Amino acid sequence: MIENYNIPFWIYLAVVSLFVGGAMKKILACHLSVGPTLVAWLGATVLVERLWVVCLPAMLLLVLLAAMGCIYSRSRTAQLPNLPAQGKAVFITGKRSPPPFTLRCAGNLNKESLVDVTDPHGGCFLSNPLGEHMWGGAWMKRLWGLVNNAGVCVNFGEAELSLMSTFRGCMEVNFFGTVDVTKSFLPLVRQAKGRIVNISSPAGDQPFPCLAAYGASKAALNLFTETLRHELNPWGVRVSTILPSSYKTATSTNHAYWEQQHKLLLQSLSPALLEEYGEDYMTETKDLFHSFSEHANPDLSPVINTIVKALLSPQPQARYYAGPGIGLMYFIHSYCPFSISNRFLQKLFLKKSLVPRALRKQSGLDMNLGLHNNNNEEKLQQL
């Protein structure tokens, strides 16, 4: 758990300890400053002082132990050299064009593959003609790793506004495509006692607004990966999940595609549903998504380095958090109240200024009704 966060876990413990300690100190000061009746009701002052004396050293000891564990874990990992990449081949899924990085252990995988991961007849790579040409011979004997990098967000928006084709499209690529590719290559990976790395998303663990379809597909992928990790451990195969932060890609910045999807959505919705939400509300969501994608990080090196680490580390982690802010995001989601984590996600992703049209009308009616009632009360008081 300590290694799972980009920001060291002991820093979180230190912050929590200071927060709790400060709160207890304020409670103690409050007890000492109020009258004896309230002190008796809250508890004896001596008892509070004893709790303060006992709890603060215990929290500091916990922070110290966590820090020592973190340092020990890092030093132990640093002493272990990476596994040799020579002679190992890695299959990486993605777009039809080569991926934006090339591993030294990728072998002949720089060749372009036209196999669609969503094609039920093309998933069994080892039995089709393309597979016999590219995956046959000596290359198959060198297969060491599988990186399921292919992923897609078909469209975004509230679950009620998302078309079923959006849900199915995300599931086909992000989940079923990954499952199909993994099952096809598992015999070779098991034989090599190699690695499987699945690229997921924090949206699969946390309820990002307007990403229900995408998040649901990544949630299914996360559970599949975790189950696979337990099942393949006896075979010597290590399975890891990589959770990247927001990065700028060609697809996310393709405004023509998102404009087309937005028009398709407006044409497909029922008039009643479009009237209740309002076209201006949906347009604002699209514009906010464009702004969010434009300000995303264009440097993909944190993800690339994490993939290499998951493939070649002698002791790969179950989960990797690639990019700034991911550790803090998961800390807030895991340890803060739901109201705080929910507000954090809303402010982080899409800062909506509009509410659905029906709610705006209802709010206006309630305001007018309140003013009307106030006027009636004033008239009654005058009488």
Q: Which residues are catalytic?
A: 214
Structure-token match 């990728």, residue found: 106
CA dist., res. 16 & res. 22, Å (int)? 10
Which has the closest alpha carbon to 161: 213, 239, 229?
Answer: 213
CA dist., res. 312 & res. 304, Å (int)? 12
CA dist., res. 298 & res. 290, Å (int)? 15
Which has the closest alpha carbon to 218: 232, 204, 236?
Answer: 204
The DSSP code sequence of 164-226 is HHHHHHHIIIIIIIHHHHHHHHHHHHHHHT-EEEEE--GGGTS--TTBHHHHHHHHHHHHHHH
CA dist., res. 117 & res. 140, Å (int)? 19
CA dist., res. 66 & res. 60, Å (int)? 10
